[in-house]
């Protein structure tokens, strides 16, 4: 039986370690946030320049300026930082992010 998108996201989430900075790419990687174990605290980064992604907002509380790499609305945390996408990729390429989960075509 083939794995569903949710199965793949849940499996990827098991690779997360407490304290990691984690980049989530487009597609299935954005689902990983839904499967982070409760006892693991990570800081999520989006490729479009947001470090400290909060949960998906409730309906009616969306801010169209706060989106992840997949253009889904997200929320911010009190510690969220913003920067350009060039700086975001530099953080990943420069080894400043512990784990990057990328989508595939």
pLDDT at 3: 94
Average pLDDT over residues 3-29: 95
Residue 100 banded pLDDT, cuts 50, 70, 90: very high
Are the beta carbons of 99 and 19 closer than 8 angstroms? no
Phi, psi of 30 (to 5 degrees): -65, -20
The residues that are catalytic are 47
pLDDT at 17: 97
Q: Give the pair of three-digit tokens for residue 82.
A: 């913003």
Residues 79, 83, 87: CA angle, nearest 5 degrees: 125
Is 11's pLDDT higher than 90? Answer: yes
Q: Give the pair of three-digit tokens for residue 18.
A: 């407490």
pLDDT per residue as tens digits for the range 17-54 = 999 999 998 899 999 999 999 999 999 999 889 999 98
pLDDT at 105: 65
Q: Would you give the distance in Å from CA 81 to the centre of its chain? A: 14
Helix (H, G, I), strand (E, B) or coil at 21: strand
Helix (H, G, I), strand (E, B) or coil at 41: coil
Average pLDDT over residues 7-14: 96
pLDDT per residue as tens digits for the range 56-93 = 889 999 999 999 888 899 999 999 999 999 999 999 99
Neighbouring C-beta atoms of residue 75, cutoff 10 Å: 16
pTM (predicted TM-score): 0.88
């Amino acid at each position: 039986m083939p794995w569903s998108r949710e199965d793949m996201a849940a499996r990827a989430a098991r690779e997360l370690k407490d304290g990691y900075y984690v980049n989530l790419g487009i597609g299935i990687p954005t689902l990983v946030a839904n499967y982070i174990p409760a006892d693991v605290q990570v800081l999520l980064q989006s490729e479009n320049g947001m470090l400290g992604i909060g949960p998906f907002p409730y309906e009616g509380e969306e801010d169209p300026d706060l989106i992840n790499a997949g253009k889904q609305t997200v929320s911010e945390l009190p510690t969220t930082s913003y920067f350009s996408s060039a700086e975001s990729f530099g953080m990943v390429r420069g080894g400043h992010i512990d784990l990057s989960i990328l989508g595939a075509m």
